[in-house]
Amino acid sequence: MRKKWRNRLVFAYLPVFMLVIVVLLWIFFLTMSELSKQQALKANEIYAENTMQYIDSKLRTVEQYIVQTFLDDQSVIDFYSIAPLSQNRYLNDRDVYKKLILLRDSFSEIDSVYLYRTRDQIVLSDTSMIGLDQFSNSPYLKTLIAAPPATRWSIGREYVDYSGLTTPVVSLVMRMPLPLGTEGVLVAYQIGYAL
């Protein structure tokens, strides 16, 4: 008789016991799921922060190199000067052209770089020297001249090349000659997906 009563007691409370175990397991898995979501969000935030610091560091390096290269360079000052110290303007322009190529080649992220002289509306790029009207990206340059940007780096925009293809770029714009020049601008493009 005792065994019968014990068996009845066990079978009576067995469903309740199983239900409690199932509920506890369900709470455990829900808690683990929420914890893993929180950890994934925290990992994504850390990754995004590190990526932003890396991109900021790369952009700052390019900007510092440009400032160091073009700040006191006499050929760049002569490029913007009405009465240059150099006897031959064409040789001076060639020196500036070589500096632009060196700048582009020194940083693989830089796709294109050019100087614009407002006095005669000449664009000297790392590929050619042409007038503003023949320049493929003249609408952007005209907006820069009309309303200078508040910051040196643009957030991102579409660059139209000579063949008409558009590429997302980040642009560095500096008034020339440095530091607070009014005779023109330097624009360096970095391809957005290369960053």
| Domain ranges within the chain, ordered by starting residue | 52-191
Distance CA 140, CA 185 (A): 12
Residues facing 160 on adjacent strands: 166
Indicate whether 33 pLDDT > 90.
Answer: yes
Please state, in angstroms and as integers, the Cα–Cα distance from residue 179 to each residue in 9, 96, 122, 175, 176, following that order. Answer: 90, 17, 20, 7, 7
Reported pTM: 0.67
**Residue-wise burial string across 124-153, b where 16 or more C-beta atoms lie within 10 A, e elsewhere:** bbbeebbebeebebbebbeebeeeeeeebb
User: According to the CATH classification, is domain 52-191 in 3.40.50?
Assistant: no
Q: Which residue has the higher pLDDT, 27 or 158?
A: 27
Percentage of residues in the chain having pLDDT higher than 70:
87
Average pLDDT in the 162-172 region? Answer: 77
pLDDT at residue 135, as a whole number: 79
Indicate whether 194 pLDDT > 60.
Answer: no
pLDDT band at residue 45 using 50, 70 and 90 as cut-offs = very high
pLDDT at residue 86, as a whole number: 58
**Average pLDDT of the chain, as a whole number:** 80
Q: Sign (positive/negative) of CA torsion 101, 102, 103, 104?
A: positive
